[in-house]
Structures are given as C-alpha cells and as structure tokens.
Amino acid sequence: MSFSRDFIELSCRKGVLRFGSFVTKAGRASPYFFNAGLFDDGDSFNDLCGFYARAILGSGVAFDMLFGPAYKGIPLVAGTAMRLAGEGVNVPFAFNRKEAKDHGEGGTLVGAPLKGRVLVLDDVISAGTSVRESIGIIRKHGAEPAGLLIALDRMERGQGDISAVREVEEHYGIPVVPVATLKDLIAYLADTPELETHLAAVQAYRDVYGTHDAVR
C-alpha cells in the first residue's frame, strides 16, 4: 500500500521513528523506536489520522463505530472519525476515561453509546493490556469488537512463538489492521540512502525476534 510508505516517511521525518539503541517494554534491545506521541502538531496529526482512515477503508473490516482507549486513543479516534467523515463515511465514536467521573453525566465513557460492531484504534500492541481493557469495556456494554487498528506492526514474537498481532487475533477472534509493518519499514530503509545504514541492524533484529506468521 502506497500510504504505508508515506506513513513511514512521515514518521521518520517527525522523529516518531528513531534509530539507535533502545529497550522495548518486553526488555528487548531494539535498533528502532516508535513513539506516536510525537505526532504533536496539527499538520502531522491530521496526516496520521488520514493514514488511519485510509487503512480502515482499505481493510474491508465491517464496523459501526470507533473506540479509542485512554489516553493516546482519545485524540486518535476523534481525528480519524473526522477524516472518515471527509471521505463520506460518518460514524460515531467513543473513548474511555482512566478514572470514573463522579459528577455531571458520570461514568468512564465519553461520546456515542457503545453498540454494534466497534473498531478499536490504538498506536501499537505492546503487552496487550490496552486491547484487553478495550474489549472488556465494549463487551460490558453489549457491543462486539470488530477489529483493532494500529499504526505499526513490529512483526515480532509476543508472549509465545507467534507474533503479538497473531496472539490478539487468535485470542479475541478479531482482525488486527496495521497502517504499516516492519516489512514496510525495511523496504523504506533499503530505498532511502540517508537511512540505509540502519538497515542491517533492523534486519538482524527481525531475524532474532521476527515470526513468519506475522508476514503480510
């Protein structure tokens, strides 16, 4: 998908994707780091939400509304809903609070009532805590998770021998749709002279932690 490459390019330009020596939440020494929180201005965040909208429309996943887990999912779900509306697809959205509100309307949910098929928007899959909490909230309200959209699929093992993405798909029975994958990143590094010096390290990391089932 051409927009996957455009997304990788934007991420590198904004410093959202950085190269060097980092430690992941799983304790792995990684040659790259992805921090979606650095889409921190109007133009880049608008572009990010546009990539999410294009990934949703290209996925073929049937859904009735969007859900964004606190905290990163809150602006993401609102911005993506706006970009979808600009494409003629007007859908409701909701997000949760970390702490219940004890005045006004109360509760932990903000936005449209959760119902029908709910597509969850997040940045990455790490320990899976956000996914588990989101699906629990959706089902508690009588709705069903339709899928999970993430920015980057690192295409590496989760808790076992299969990828973290496949673990989510098998455990919850929903598709996981990435805007881009590690495969897209490697292709971009190979074609970008100023970043090609990082290619060998990223490929070596994939050789150690990658899984064949993650390849799309």
Active site residues: 101, 103
DSSP E strands: which ranges in 35-116?
65-68, 93-101, 107-111
Burial classification of residue 79, based on how many CB atoms lie within 10 Å of its CB (0-12 exposed, 13-18 middle, 19 or more buried): buried
**Two structure tokens written together for 113:** 């009532």
Structure tokens at 51: 């990539």
Handedness of CA 100, 138, 125, 148 (dihedral sign): negative
- CA–CA dist 142, 30 (Å, integer): 40
**Residue 40 main-chain phi, psi, to 5 deg:** -115, 20
Q: What count of Cα atoms within 13 Å lies in the side-chain half-sphere of residue 39?
A: 24
Tell me how far apart the alpha carbons of residues 95 and 114 are, in angstroms, rounded to a whole number.
Answer: 9
CA distance 72 to 66: 14
